[in-house]
Amino acid sequence: MSAAPKVWTREAAVTEKRNVWTALKRGFRGRCPRCGEGKLFRAFLKVDDHCSVCELDFTPHRADDLPAYLVIVIVGHIVVPTILWIETDFSPSVPLQLVIYLPFTLVLSLLLLQPVKGAVVGVQWALRMHGFDENNPEQ
Ligand SMILES: [Zn+2]
């Protein structure tokens, strides 16, 4: 066991270039952020253990609740202005509005959850967050 203290700087580490925007887009499409070919998910919101093409380990991701929060923000910014516009211009009955808006909100949220989670995992990988930094001496 070495007595020398671990000295680690980001500049000293050998690093591959990771493009945040490319990784975000690949994750949004449900693909591996590194190779863009392997599948990121093994179920609706279950991130696979590793990429089937490039063997990238996906287990260090920590998406947690962020995808749900982002979906709420995105869907809210679509649904609320639409409701206000329809209400001020057409003023349909409340039951009719509920029959349209509630399923629309639910379906839009479910459609966006997996892509947004994939994008979050892609950004985490590109920014070397959590366990995605291969040069972190603490792992
Ligand atoms: Zn891959």
pLDDT digits (tens, 9 = 90+) for 26-45: 999 999 999 999 999 999 99
How many CA atoms, within 13 angstroms, populate the side-chain half-sphere of residue 5?
3
Output the CA 108–ligand 1 centroid distance in Å. 28
- The stretch 64-80 carries a mean pLDDT of 97
Output the CA 38–ligand 1 centroid distance in Å. 5
pLDDT digits (tens, 9 = 90+) for 85-106: 999 999 999 999 999 999 999 9
Output the CA 129–ligand 1 centroid distance in Å. 17
- The stretch 57-84 carries a mean pLDDT of 96
Output the CA 35–ligand 1 centroid distance in Å. 4
Output the CA 33–ligand 1 centroid distance in Å. 7
For the chain, percent of residues with pLDDT exceeding 70: 88
